[in-house]
Amino acid sequence: MTTQSRVPSIPAPAAPRTGRRAPVRGRTLRTDRWWAQPAVTVAVLTSFVVYSTWAAFVDRDYFWEPYLSPFYSPCLATRCGLVPGSQGAPHVGIFGSWWIISPAIIILIVPLGFRLTCYYYRKAYYRSFWLSPPACAVAEPHRRYTGETRFPLILQNVHRYFFYLGFLLNIVLSYDAVIAFRDHQGRWGHAGLGTLVLVLNALLLWAYTLSCHSCRGIVGGRLNHFSRHPVRYRLWTWVSRWNRYHGQIAWVSLVWVALADLYVRLVAAGWITDVRFF
């Protein structure tokens, strides 16, 4: 036993283990621009909220035959058509004439609730507005954290009901896109730039709605035996494929719906004239 190499002895710990974490200083050691993404999210979401609040309350310039702004569709009060820039707007008078503020407020609850409880937007605003966490491996500023276990955040669990409502709303918005294939006098078989805007709007909203995580669960995610439900398995595979891009679709459809409102608004107010294709 003469050739045994000398192994440097590891000193025994001075005291019993305390179970403490390594005292690394600093909120994060990340060196990249981790703050950029939350900053962009705050900027885009804030601009959208400011614009859409204004557009919803201003209560004018939302209809120019045959285009109806998606913010005001379906119009649920008889007030539609009476304010400037809305003459001839189709309406379903459920709320009658006593509803005297902007009718957009009634229907916007659906897309607002749908997007507010959306799994993707939750991630986006928890990170950027609530900083919980602002970015991965960057400490959050809150002392206590209960996640989605308490009121009010436990209400996020209603998301699927907003999915059902959003689905119905999309049918209406698709109808709006179809009737946009008319000219200003109401004759069928015509189209303008506004038609394209509304058709794209409807398609993007369908992409957003059908790629929803709740949708994925409803069509098949809750099953354990796909082999016994071939149709639902097909649907689930299809939704899953789109679901991967749900975050990106969420942004594009959000921006597009605001642009669609803006386009109809500018045309209805007479700021621009609709480009007619045929």
Partner 1 sequence: MGYDLKLRVWRGDENGGGLVDFTVPVEEGEVVLDAIHRLQATQAHDLAVRWNCKAGKCGSCSAEINGRPRLMCMTRLSLFDPAEPVTVTPLRTFPVIRDLVTDVSFNYEKAKTVPPFTPPEGLALGEYRMAQVDVERSQEFRKCIECFLCQNVCHVIRDHEENKQHFAGPRFFIRYAELDMHPLDTLDRKRQLRDEHGLGLCNITKCCTEVCPEGIKITDNAIIPMKERVVDTRYDPLTRFIRRFRSPEQPRRPAPERQGQTAADS
Query: Which residues bind to ligand FES, rule: CB under 6 A?
Result: 114, 118-120, 159, 163, 212-214, 246
Residue 189: phi, psi to the nearest 5?
90, 20
By CB neighbour count within 10 A (0-12 exposed, 13-18 middle, 19+ buried), where does 59 fall? buried
* 268 closest CA partner among 91, 87, 50: 87
Size of the site for partner 1 (CB under 8 A): 57
- CA 81 vs. chain centroid, Å, equals 29
| Alpha-carbon span 137 to 239, nearest angstrom | 31
From candidates 6, 21, 33, 187, binder to partner 1 by CB under 8 A:
21
Residue 89 near residue 66, CB atoms below 8 Å: no
Check residue 232 for interaction with partner 1 (CB under 8 A).
Answer: no
From candidates 3, 5, 12, 14, binder to partner 1 by CB under 8 A:
14
Q: Would you give the end-to-end CA distance of the chain in angstroms?
A: 98
Choose between 105 and 131: whose C-beta lies nearer to partner 1: 131
| Alpha-carbon span 55 to 60, nearest angstrom | 9
From candidates 3, 5, 23, 54, binder to partner 1 by CB under 8 A:
23
Among partner 1, ligand FES, none, partner that 123 touches (CB below 5 to 8 angstroms by kind): partner 1
Q: How far, in Å, are 29, 48, 53 from residue 134 at the CA level?
A: 14, 21, 26
Check residue 226 for interaction with partner 1 (CB under 8 A).
Answer: yes
Least distance to partner 1, CB of residue 245, Å: 11
Check residue 233 for interaction with partner 1 (CB under 8 A).
Answer: yes
From candidates 1, 12, 29, 231, binder to partner 1 by CB under 8 A:
29
| Alpha-carbon span 102 to 34, nearest angstrom | 41
Choose between 19 and 189: whose C-beta lies nearer to partner 1: 19
Chain contacts with partner 1 (rule: CB under 8 A): 8, 10, 13-15, 17-24, 28-32, 119, 122-123, 126-127, 132-133, 136-137, 139-140, 142, 144-149, 153-154, 157-160, 213-214, 216-217, 221-228, 233, 243-244
